Amino acid sequence: MAHVVTSKCNHCKFTDCVEVCPVACFYELDNQLVIHPEDCIDCTACVAECPVEAIYAEGDVPADFQAGVEFNASEARRIKDSGHDAIVKKKDPLPTAAQRKAELGY
């Protein structure tokens, strides 16, 4: 079972998680990250690194974020299949990250 980046990441895009991933399964969208479901080895290393707790094991995704499970998988596949590399180095979060983090209560 893979891990999923939920929409909590949207408008944040903290990338602390990518540096601890041993298999490079994170891909970057304009507003958030996604995890490739076939590449994720379910190691859980990324979960504790996310400042907004946006990453869940697929079976543990809260009901409010279930729509994101398929979005995460399809977008990760689309990006990888288009020839883009996984993101493996930490980058600056989006300019809206601090505000989004506060809105989420973190």
CATH of the domain at 40: 3.30.70.20
Predicted pLDDT at 40: 98
Whether 54 maps to a domain, the answer reads yes
Whether 103 maps to a domain, the answer reads no
d(CA 15, CA 26): 9
Residues of the chain short of pLDDT 50, as ranges, are: none
Could you tell me which residues are beta bridge partners of residue 80?
none
Predicted pLDDT at 41: 97
Predicted pLDDT at 1: 73
pTM of the model: 0.95
Q: For the chain, what is the domain count?
A: 1
Closest by CA to 76, choosing from 5, 9, 1, is 5
Domain range for 84 is: 3-97
Predicted pLDDT at 64: 95
Whether 102 maps to a domain, the answer reads no
Residue keyed to tokens 């080895």? 41
Pair 86, 80: CB distance under 8 Å: yes
